[in-house]
Amino acid sequence: MLTFKKTYTFTLIMKSKVQHIYSQILEAKAKNHKLLAVLLDPDKIIWSKIDYLIDRINRSPATHVFIGGSHVESNSTDELILKIKQNCLLPIVLFPGNPSQISKEADGILFLSLLSGRNADYLIEHQVKAAPVLKQSQLEIISTGYILIESGSETAVERISKTKPIHRENINLVLATSQAGEMLGNKLIYLEAGSGAKQAVPLNVIELVSRNIEIPLIVGGGIVSLQGIENAYKAGADLVVIGTAFENNLEFFNFDKI
């Protein structure tokens, strides 16, 4: 824990700057300041603990709050974002499984295209449906090449998108897909093992991709320890996403006891 705290300087991105989420990610990358997103799924929020959850986020090294899930059933996304905004200054970025999860209350959106799959719905159809809604919003739109990596068992993204992940040992295909995503004009590449994945994205894959693209690299899925976060940073991740580990243990980032 201590090593983790001392090794990385986290940039606190204040609310006044939230219209520039992407430029601040670029700035952090240029300075080698690592970024950390806490992912909240509106369907998994325990509302009786929401104030405590926000307090834990404020005390954590998180630089962003991501909101979303592969399959969000409730309509509580707006309510959740408004509640967080009352007491938390971090930028709130949508990480949607489909267009129904768009909320104008957020600051930005990862406009995802699932490049590892060959299901046209997740490559372009959902994006076409979302475009008119996004055009009417003030959300900062951050196009993101989303690449699912095989992680030991079927994940929600795989099940819902009806696509196969790229095999974790097929590193050349992960690289070519990442580079194609960059050439298509995406602003970010997101290497995803899947929420609650048994195995996180392999470090050699993170290393290879980060060395061979210019745009910032997000890594998430199956990272369950501070050491795991640190390893992903060392391998070249610019931003790490933590969902399940924080959801299961709100003390995951607690540095108070050090």
Q: Which residues lie near ligand 1GP (CB under 6 A)?
A: 39, 192, 195-197, 220-223, 241-245
Q: How far is the CB of 217 from ligand 1GP (least distance, A)?
A: 13
Q: How far is the CB of 18 from ligand 1GP (least distance, A)?
A: 21
- Nearest distance, CB of residue 136 and ligand 1GP, angstroms: 27
Give min distance, CB of 74 to ligand 1GP, in A: 18
Q: Name the closest residue to ligand 1GP (Cβ).
A: 220
> Which residue's CB is nearer to ligand 1GP, number 15 or number 49?
49
130/229 with CB nearer ligand 1GP: 229
Closer residue to ligand 1GP (CB): 154 or 183? 154
Instruction: Closer to ligand 1GP by CB, 103 or 195: give it.
Output: 195
Nearer to ligand 1GP, 19 or 119 (CB): 119
DSSP bridge pairs for 189: 145, 217
Looking at the Cβ atoms of 11 and 199, the one nearer to ligand 1GP is 199
Smallest separation, CB 35 to ligand 1GP (Å): 14
DSSP output for the chain? -HHHHHH-PPP---GGGGGGHHHHHHHHHHTT--EEEEEE-GGG--GGGHHHHHHHHHHS---EEEE--SS--SS-HHHHHHHHHHH--S-EEE--SSGGG--TTSSEEEEEEETTS--HIIIIIHHHHHHHHHHTS-PEEEEEEEEEB--SS--HHHHHHT-PPBPTT-HHHHHHHHHHHHHTT-SEEEEE--TT-SSPPPHHHHHHHHHH-SS-EEEESS--SHHHHHHHHHHT-SEEEE-HHHHH-TTTT--TT-
The first and second tokens of residue 83, run together, are 């509640």
The nearest distance, CB 188 to ligand 1GP, in angstroms, is 13
